[in-house]
Structure 1
């Protein structure tokens, strides 16, 4: 980052030496492994110009989200304190992928030409992480403003938003605007995969929806699906589009533009009102006139990625959760969380008892609620990290989570966990174990998750170095299922998974993988070199969280050098520190210092360590990507020529 006059930051000094705990050493081991693995990953798959060794052509609308996902953790690891070269690699790869998929035809004006917000959400996590990595990038600030304009109604070419009816005009949107008519070519890369998915309609000829499968690879069935999608799904709004709020919040954190906040409140509020009109249940399809079920015989179910789609409730509650967390971040108004709570409560009230456990419906067919199974307990956790409200803890506890969620996960070398089938493709697996730790229920979690993450890096490197990981074996322009599935290879081979490191240092779960911003209670900057992340050799552990406090341990594992770290109140500077107390192992206060700032500097001597309890007011500052040295509001944007 450029060096600018520093703001005045309250500072405390820690010179008391401490015995280095195991978790602190394991953090340094993991960071070292991740740094080395990231370099090997880039060397294996990235050309000198940032492009990827792959096919000469790629059809359909799918595509760019997968390579972006494969490499996005380069930027995230840099933000956590990974080596400085990671930022340059991340920058090069993002630009390379953007250019390459523009040439393939999926990207236009540096953004996906058209696709849904399940996949936009996945891919643009990389873009959001770059904001955390370097808010001074004029390119990224300019892109953020332009991309937001695709969804606020400011861009004539990308006419995605209807401000009169307060809706995004199609489930398929992007830099070319709404895609009201999909083609068989748009979906061709998915056909083989979707053979194993639930049929999107109940009235497809000759298809028994109760089998849970639908032969998209059958040409006649495929044509009928595309026709029905264009009739019933291609026009109007769906809850999945709420993931676009992260793109708007991202732009807001560069600029502070109040019109972006107004848009978010208007759009999220419109979906809140639609649920209210529908007896509290979030409808999954709204027509261009704002009517629920407008193209679906008046049914509130049956929309794109909605209640009758394979994912069901998952693709209702997840974008709603992302949206309400973004709304609280931008406005400080906790009442937005009620919109997600209402959906969780309605779903819970429909529960049944099966084999001694409660199960809840995940789908709604014409015949009623169906697909009853154990609930996913992570969504109350995400709400709790924002609210710190006991009611969200109660929502978690009532679910009685099954072991698949409570046990620390490590996939096998095949890339799948043998018990859950979960892939490294979306490896955010240990939210519940972290939550139990932060509630004081598992003091062994820090060491266990760090060891597990080290093992995951080892497994992924073994897979990446194998013949399966050789990118020369993926270079094919065929259209078999195996040829087309190579789009996921970078995700499957990626060894850069810092989940435990992020949880323990930032005091938060990892982002929701389909488009959630990386919320956090604290983040760090290396004060000596003025860059994001923990200084090398400094380990951090968030031990406790309350509405008004965070308890944090800092340990300088370096016996030869002092360290200087700046702690930020919130992942986006949205909180405010008030006082910091040095406490001993028994929790007794040794000294108290006033802070009253969004930043606190801690200078640690060689081998020094401390436990700090910091009081804070949450959601009182405008969220921003600004750093202690970089004031984003001083950076001008470029206004290009306008043809008259």
Structure 2
């Protein structure tokens, strides 16, 4: 492993570096009152509020409450987050194995969800995936990874979750008790009215007696809709099932066993073929015999969590985006980015333009009642309000995560131009920080990519200040919280979680926030503390990724400690999937001590604010490795320009300790 020594002193520490370390310290300490007040000493949750709870929903919400704790440890959070993450995952798994699902099984069987849709499973098991990054040497984490993935490879003879002939997960609900329609028959046949459901509209427009949402208030209308849902939605494959590829990819990252890679490829390729067969737009329901619309009157839309109900592209896009990333990671084939690109392209072609902003359709369906409350912008087209047009409806600016992740996968300029064209020009979302109330506490992808393009220089300081404000807001919320625990809902802990990672992911790793419903971490860099032998930035060290290009990564590293050296390993990619080819770096005189050929340059580092030592030189070295060791002297910094080959190594959870021994 190439070793570099950085000894270029700074006169004043960069503000962004101070803010990074301040945010980490803040979150390390803010979690203590959260744990003390809102979790029992044994780690179990305060929801459900009764011991006789029955249902199929909300196991995901409990795991989801801690979704970013393992990842925070991976970034450099306090050591306690590793043990807390393990404790909470175990405690929740045991706790929910006590509750009845109402379908003849407990909510957790065989240490896994008995059976539910992957919109929710993806949310919940994100925590588990990050635990692989957190501690891949933990035998329990590894064994569970293989056990869970094995459920979808039909390795448990009592459980069938995959149809190998048709390359499909044959039901929208799957899990440790197999893929079946039991949840639909028990829980969904008697549909009901609820005010919050108005935001999602009707499943179908052709159910007799249900012409508007108001008709669901009557038993006849609710029963008719429930029957239609069971008949049309309870069987067959749906795009959300593609989120299961993360569970199987996770097992590959632990083991390197090619059976997992083969499964992911066969399943993703099957959905790509179905998409091509459907004229380029992914269908949202495929029957048990592999036919599109087989149980839905031949219609390619109308499936469970599909194009028509409830979220449209929000959920369909998660499946497509996560599957494309996992296939790209495992197969190292950039062509898989086209799976996501093709969907964005078609939606963009159908966009309505107003005030310079492209409003794309999030949903597709038949003409009918679309007068529900929605987050979409109602557009004037030829003097008429557009709610449904040519089979598409719910037009709105696209969420930035999808075009950002596409560009991040491909690094192609055409995808970057698509990203810029899809910005919200009516309400600019790329040149300042806005408050978003999202589950992942993120949403500033366009602002981050604007910074990387040199258009938003203050972004690092602004996003870190914003993240600290998020933490302080939740601290104050806890301080003034008077809610009776007996009235807690299943998201009670999520809305109090004091860990927020968007800024740290973007700035330190050069990474977007993972796609929320079960996406793995996609990152240009990752760090390990070489002295503490653990993942994450060492104490007092800050990192700022300034450029992310197809074949180059630029990162600034700073050691804020005044008297102690810090050593860190820089890794190419979240899973070592990338490779460093060479490095150019700033030093104070000749420093390399490994015998590699170095070429010192005479150019000085730019000093726009007089911040850094002006006696800087630039050196270069050949790397040809996925790891690089950097020793940062006290009060010193360096800028690394890393030549990078992307997706050339087999990805894994391997850590660099064996290489450091050599």
TM-score, structure 1 normalization? 0.89
Aligned to 2:179, the other structure's residue is in SS state coil
1:79-104 Cα deviation digits (max 9, x unpaired): 11011111111111111111111112
Aligned to 1:150, the other structure's residue is in SS state helix
Instruction: Name the residue aligned to 2:337.
Output: 337
581-590 or 387-396, larger mean C-alpha shift = 581-590
Q: 1:506 aligns with which of 509, 514, 522?
A: 509
Instruction: Name the residue aligned to 2:636.
Output: 608
50-59 or 618-627, larger mean C-alpha shift = 50-59
Q: 1:590 aligns with which of 586, 607, 618?
A: 618
Structural mapping, 1:96-175, within 5 Å:
96-104=91-99, 105-175=106-176
Instruction: Name the residue aligned to 1:324.
Output: 324
Give unmatched runs, 5+ long, in structure 2. Answer: 100-105, 368-390, 587-603, 608-615
Shift of residue 562, structure 1, vs aligned partner: 1.0
Instruction: Name the residue aligned to 1:16.
Output: 8
CA distance in 2, matches of 1:409, 1:223: 46
CA distance in 2, matches of 1:540, 1:82: 14
Aligned to 1:182, the other structure's residue is in SS state helix
Structural mapping, 1:446-525, within 5 Å:
446-468=460-482, 473-475=484-486, 486-525=489-528
Shift of residue 218, structure 1, vs aligned partner: 5.4
Instruction: Name the residue aligned to 2:375.
Output: none
Q: 1:50 aligns with which of 40, 43, 47?
A: 43
Instruction: Name the residue aligned to 1:74.
Output: 69
Indicate if the aligned counterparts of 1:62 and 1:186 stay in contact, CA closer than 8 A.
no
Shift of residue 190, structure 1, vs aligned partner: 9.5
Instruction: Name the residue aligned to 1:480.
Output: none
1:299-336 Cα deviation digits (max 9, x unpaired): 11111111111311222222111111111111110001
1:558-581 Cα deviation digits (max 9, x unpaired): 112110111111001111112111
Indicate if the aligned counterparts of 2:433 and 2:447 stay in contact, CA closer than 8 A.
no
Shift of residue 407, structure 1, vs aligned partner: 5.7
Shift of residue 221, structure 1, vs aligned partner: 4.0
1:395-439 Cα deviation digits (max 9, x unpaired): 11222324364365565xxxxx5xxxx34x342221111111112
Q: 2:399 aligns with which of 369, 373, 376?
A: 376
Shift of residue 217, structure 1, vs aligned partner: 6.7
Shift of residue 352, structure 1, vs aligned partner: 2.5
Instruction: Name the residue aligned to 1:37.
Output: 30
Instruction: Name the residue aligned to 1:286.
Output: 286
Instruction: Name the residue aligned to 1:638.
Output: none
Indicate if the aligned counterparts of 2:544 and 2:557 stay in contact, CA closer than 8 A.
yes
**Quick one: structure 1 residues 214 and 563, their matched pair in 2 at CA, closer, same or farther if it must change by over 3 Å?**
farther
**Quick one: structure 1 residues 578 and 382, their matched pair in 2 at CA, closer, same or farther if it must change by over 3 Å?**
same
**Quick one: structure 1 residues 408 and 255, their matched pair in 2 at CA, closer, same or farther if it must change by over 3 Å?**
farther
Indicate if the aligned counterparts of 1:194 and 1:214 stay in contact, CA closer than 8 A.
no
Aligned to 2:520, the other structure's residue is in SS state coil
- State the number of aligned residues: 599
Instruction: Name the residue aligned to 1:273.
Output: 273
Instruction: Name the residue aligned to 2:249.
Output: 249
Q: Flag the structure with larger Rg.
A: 2
**Quick one: structure 1 residues 404 and 229, their matched pair in 2 at CA, closer, same or farther if it must change by over 3 Å?**
farther
CA distance in 2, matches of 1:133, 1:357: 41
